[in-house]
Amino acid sequence: MNVQNTSLPGVLLLEPKIFADPRGFFLESYNRRVFAGLGLDLEFVQDNHSKSCRNTLRGMHLQLPPKAQDKLVRVLSGEIFDVVVDLRHGSPTFRQWEGHRLDANSMRMLFIPKGFAHGFCVLSETAEIFYKCTDFYAPDMEMTLRWDDPMIGIRWPVTAPILSGRDQKGQPFDAMPEAFAWP
């Protein structure tokens, strides 16, 4: 597994080893021993799979402690622009964001630690996204940061995104809790 650090501490781009031949390919997307060797000794407890059409924007979501989640995101088909925002008060990169193009061809994955809001928009006709989480979905602990909050300034590659009702009602950064207690 090739690991690339990003500008946000803890967020990692992961490139699995791909074994290809005329029949197709094989890759190991997750191996607990390999991840532990990278300092990511995690127990994933929930897998999620979504399919969305072009210009769909999902996010920016996070769960608060004690139900905060680490995530491992992978694109199974299509292409997305995947975005994370550091919401860990006291972090040197607090309120900073970065985006990465993930697609089924490169098979790169994004590891997102607790304390980051996460979202993506679909760049291809459709995209299927698969992600592992270290805690179960807890709607009472979930927050949605406004996808177009000017204090964050995410530069999305779509101008008229398709949003869910929940994402349309995302909170502005100013309304987010002041004291996140990230483990």
For 158, the 3-state DSSP assignment is coil
Q: Does residue 109 have a cis peptide bond before it, meaning omega lies within 30 degrees of 0?
A: no
What is the DSSP secondary-structure string of 60-116? Answer: EEEE-TTS---EEEEEEESEEEEEEEE--TT-TTTT-EEEEEEETTT--EEEE-TTE
Work out the number of other CB atoms within 10 angstroms of the CB of residue 166.
Answer: 12
Q: Does residue 183 have a cis peptide bond before it, meaning omega lies within 30 degrees of 0?
A: no
Nearest to 102 by CA among 129, 62, 125: 129
Catalytic residues, by residue number, are: 61, 131
